[in-house]
Amino acid sequence: MTLARPAARTIFAVVGAAALVSFVRSGRVSRWMPVARYAVDGPSMEPAYRAGDRIVVNRLAYLRCRPAAGDVVVLRDPERAGHFLVKRVAFDVGRHEAAVYVLGDNAEASRDSRAFGPVPVHLVVGKAWFRY
């Protein structure tokens, strides 16, 4: 029995996605992997992301380009070492200053660029890929 090419591609894509989710959920994602997982803490990104949601982040997303407006990113907290934030990029500050302005979706509960200013792009860990 042979599968038609489109059907085979679909099956391989589904199996590959399931394997990736299984791998991520197992906790075996480490520092050297191109993906990482993070947990959302707090209401700053509601309603899109709620406290306790887990997200998979593509750490290679910005190797060749900069974060764009609307991207949901994980970044190192510019004020608290060892902490990470989940925020949405509002805009790129400009070519001469490699920084982005980030905002939480829930303005009343968010500590973001309105409090700490533009974030240097080297603090951006990666782009949120999907929530699980």
Q: Is the pLDDT of residue 124 over 70?
A: yes
| Side-chain half-sphere exposure of 54, counting CA atoms within 13 A | 10
In this prediction, residues 5-10 reach a mean pLDDT of: 68
In this structure, CATH architecture of domain 34-131: Ribbon (2.10)
Domains of the chain, by residue range, sit at 1-30, 34-131
Nearest to 54 by CA among 43, 42, 40: 40
The answer, yes or no, to whether residue 58 has pLDDT greater than 70, is: yes
Per DSSP, the three-state class of 95 is: coil
What CA–CA distance (Å, rounded) separates 38 from 61?
16
Q: For the chain, give the mean pLDDT.
A: 87
Q: How far is CA 39 from CA 16, 53, 55, 106, in A?
A: 23, 6, 6, 17
d(CA 19, CA 87): 27
For the segment 12-32, the average pLDDT, to the nearest whole number, is 63
pLDDT of 111 strictly over 90: yes
Q: What's the confidence (pLDDT) of residue 6?
A: 65
Q: Phi and psi at residue 89, in whole multiples of 5°? A: -70, 125
pLDDT (tens digit per residue) in 27-45: 555 566 799 999 999 999 9
